[in-house]
């Protein structure tokens, strides 16, 4: 159609050119009129034909322009720069890339979880942290042991690895007393259930094995347990010194089944334990007993629970702080150390109790060293030199006075 329009338009232009040439050949005056009367009719006819061809040409030009516009609108303007080439590698699945991406994501998640656990966990994970962070030595690391016939495992299983740990604690205490003798030692803990009472009982036993006359005083006048561990009556105890200072009391100092180990139980629980432990009479009691026993271990309530241990701590030669790494929080340990320093107590060090063997890098395989498990060691130990005489011991000095 476009070609036909172009042909018709060309023919029309030829006709118009021919008519214009014929008109130009007719002579005219200045007004454009034919000079020869015979040419008037011819000129009029030519002008009419020219008008018709020009009108026809106008229609053809209009149709041609519309046709060109339609072709432009229907023609695509997208220009292909590079031809499409098929990818020889599949887009999905890609096992190697997926595995690598999964490994990276898994590693990041695991690292985040570990960091979160480490950040939120507030317990003591490393024994060296105690010395590094607070400048307090670790006197001993007591491993976790199961229940036995008696809580004093150094008696029932003297060759067990945990018993050796208590003997190591005894040795460290001896080194701590090189500068000044430690005749009175207070044992406490930041919080309940750290195992301080069992540490007192076992430590007192191994110290008494060095031919020393040892006394354990139950200074926990709120929840006493010493009499239960040593299976002793608690009808008469420490509080009776304060109630009957003028009398000579039989049965206050009790002899245990362990040779050279004696106990003063708590006695009846008073309404004012802190005042009793911090009184001058308590100081007189300790000084009097120090002339008969070496050393004296005093079991007291937890530091952060009540003030009983704090009022007595400055009056003794040294303090042992027992913690359970799985339970004791860093903040509790720090607060306990700060409180003892504020009252000018002689903090000898920290004992880590109930430590999991597999997690303690202080531990080595003592079963292999001794060549026997716990049970056989206990059976072949031959006892611990215990004395079955449970008669009560009486002080040879006059009774305490106000």
User: Cβ(253)–Cβ(262) under 8 Å?
Assistant: yes
Q: pTM of this prediction?
A: 0.62
Q: pLDDT band at 265, cuts 50/70/90?
A: very high
**Cα 293–Cα 294–Cα 295 angle in degrees, nearest 5:** 115
Q: Write out pLDDT tens, residues 249-263.
A: 567 899 999 889 999
Cis peptide before 12 (omega within 30 of 0): no
Q: pLDDT band at 77, cuts 50/70/90?
A: low
User: What residue ranges of the chain are covered by domains with CATH 3.40.50.300?
Assistant: 120-393
Q: Nearest to residue 189, comparing CAs of 363, 353, 16?
A: 353
Question: What pLDDT is attached to residue 319?
Answer: 95
Q: Cβ contacts of residue 199 below 8 Å, gap of 6+?
A: 142, 166, 187, 320, 322, 351, 353
Q: Write out pLDDT tens, residues 175-192.
A: 887 777 889 999 999 988
User: Cβ(228)–Cβ(215) under 8 Å?
Assistant: no
Look at 48-52, 81-85, 347-351 and tell me which has the smallest mean pLDDT.
81-85
Instruction: Evaluate if residue 372 carries a pLDDT over 50.
Output: no
End-to-end CA distance of the chain: 136
Q: Write out pLDDT tens, residues 203-252.
A: 999 999 988 999 999 999 999 999 999 999 998 889 887 776 555 556 78
DSSP state, residue 386: B
Q: pLDDT band at 402, cuts 50/70/90?
A: very low
Helix (H, G, I), strand (E, B), or coil: what is residue 344?
coil
User: Could you give the angle at which helices 330-342 and 127-134 cross, rounded to 10 degrees?
Assistant: 50
User: Cβ(136)–Cβ(356) under 8 Å?
Assistant: no
Strands 347-355 and 318-323: parallel
How many CB atoms are located within 10 Å of the residue 64 CB? Answer: 16
Q: Write out pLDDT tens, residues 341-358.
A: 999 999 999 999 988 866
CB-based burial label for 357 (10 Å; 0-12, 13-18, 19+):
middle
Q: Cβ contacts of residue 369 below 8 Å, gap of 6+?
A: none
- Tell me the sheet residues that pair with 320: 187, 349
CATH of domain 120-393: 3.40.50.300
Question: What pLDDT is attached to residue 147?
Answer: 60
Which of 129 and 125 is assigned the larger pLDDT?
A: 129
Q: Nearest to residue 150, comparing CAs of 393, 386, 391?
A: 386
């Amino acid at each position: 159609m476009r070609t036909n329009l172009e042909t018709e338009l060309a023919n029309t232009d030829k006709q118009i050119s021919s008519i214009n040439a014929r008109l130009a050949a007719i002579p005219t005056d200045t007004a454009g009129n034919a000079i020869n009367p015979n040419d008037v009719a011819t000129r009029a006819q030519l002008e009419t034909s020219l008008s018709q061809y020009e009108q026809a040409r106008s229609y053809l030009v209009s149709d041609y322009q519309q046709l060109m516009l339609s072709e432009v609108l229907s023609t695509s303007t997208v220009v292909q720069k590079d031809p499409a080439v098929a990818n020889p590698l599949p887009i999905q699945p890609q096992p190697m890339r997926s595995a690598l991406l999964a490994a990276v994501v898994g590693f990041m998640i695991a690292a985040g979880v570990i960091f979160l656990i480490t950040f939120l966990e507030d317990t003591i994970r490393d024994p060296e942290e105690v010395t590094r962070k607070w400048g307090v030595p670790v006197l001993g690391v007591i491993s976790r042991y199961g229940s036995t016939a008696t809580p004093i495992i150094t008696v029932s299983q003297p060759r067990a690895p945990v018993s050796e740990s208590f003997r190591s604690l005894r040795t460290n205490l001896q080194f701590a007393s090189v500068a000044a003798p430690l005749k009175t030692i207070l044992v406490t803990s930041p919080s309940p259930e750290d195992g301080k009472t069992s540490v007192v009982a076992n430590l007192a036993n191994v110290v008494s094995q060095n031919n020393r006359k040892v006394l354990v005083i139950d200074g926990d006048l709120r929840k006493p347990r010493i009499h239960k561990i040593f299976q002793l009556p608690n009808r008469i105890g420490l509080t009776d010194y304060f109630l009957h200072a003028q009398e000579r009391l039989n049965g206050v100092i009790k002899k245990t089944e362990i040779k050279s180990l004696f106990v003063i139980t708590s006695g009846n629980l008073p309404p004012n334990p802190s005042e009793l432990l911090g009184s001058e009479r308590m100081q007189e009691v300790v000084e009097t007993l120090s002339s008969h026993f070496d050393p004296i271990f005093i079991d007291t309530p937890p530091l952060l629970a009540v003030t009983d241990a704090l009022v007595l701590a400055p009056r003794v030669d040294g303090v042992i702080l027992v913690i359970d790494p799985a339970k004791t929080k860093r903040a509790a340990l720090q607060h306990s150390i700060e409180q003892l320093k504020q009252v000018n107590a002689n903090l000898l060090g920290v004992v880590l109790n109930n430590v999991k063997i597999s997690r303690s890098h202080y531990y080595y395989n003592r079963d292999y060293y001794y060549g026997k498990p716990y049970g056989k060691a206990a059976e072949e130990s031959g006892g611990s030199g215990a004395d079955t005489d449970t008669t009560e011991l009486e002080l040879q000095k006059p009774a305490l006075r106000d």
